[in-house]
């Protein structure tokens, strides 16, 4: 019985810690690996030394998510001029992410979190369904969370992100 209980308790404690939405600005970003829409592996740890935008969205091809993705597509030059990169994360699978990227000519990477592990770890999973909330994280080159914006406006989020990164880099 002891052999079963100890691993089970360890698993439960890790799960509770990962499911916490207590992340705050100033915390180290939770590291993860996910597949991209192209099937390659993305590792957040490899972003050390660079600004990173993680934007979580509920579901590909829905109106709000399409508006948000297209706004990031249209503002990507401003964001990249600030030496930052954008990664969209949802609970869609790789094929759904690939189709979404293709349909809207997205020029940034989408990550597939179809097991909802990262979405849960970042506290972004909706309680009732396997979708994520619409939250955006800005992570600095030391992999420290510099901003968390919850329930963002899908139309203005990309412009807001570009301005916020510029402000953070200027020490504002």
From first CA to last CA, the distance across the chain in angstroms is 56
Catalytic residue among 53, 65, 101, 165: 65
**Cα 131 from Cα 127, distance rounded (Å):** 9
Give yes or no for a contact between 140 and 59, defined as CB atoms under 8 angstroms apart: no
Q: Confirm whether 70 is a catalytic residue.
A: no
Question: Which whole-number Å values give the CA distances from 126 to 70, 121, 135, 151, in the listed order?
Answer: 23, 12, 11, 12
Catalytic site positions:
65
């Amino acid at each position: 019985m002891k052999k079963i209980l100890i691993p089970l308790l360890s698993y439960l404690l890790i799960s509770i810690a990962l499911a916490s939405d207590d992340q705050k600005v100033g915390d180290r970003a939770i590291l993860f690996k996910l597949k991209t829409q192209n099937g390659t592996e993305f590792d957040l740890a490899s972003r050390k030394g660079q600004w990173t935008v993680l934007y979580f969205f509920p579901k590909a091809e829905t109106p709000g998510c399409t508006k948000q993705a297209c706004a990031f597509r249209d503002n990507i030059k401003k964001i990249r001029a600030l030496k930052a990169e954008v990664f969209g994360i949802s609970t869609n699978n790789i094929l759904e992410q690939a189709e979404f990227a293709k349909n809207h000519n997205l020029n940034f990477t989408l990550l597939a979190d179809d097991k909802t592990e990262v979405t849960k770890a970042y506290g972004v999973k909706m309680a009732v369904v396997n979708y994520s909330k619409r939250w955006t994280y800005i992570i600095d080159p030391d992999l420290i969370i510099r901003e968390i914006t919850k329930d963002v406006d899908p139309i203005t989020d990309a412009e807001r992100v570009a301005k916020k990164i510029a402000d953070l880099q200027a020490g504002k």
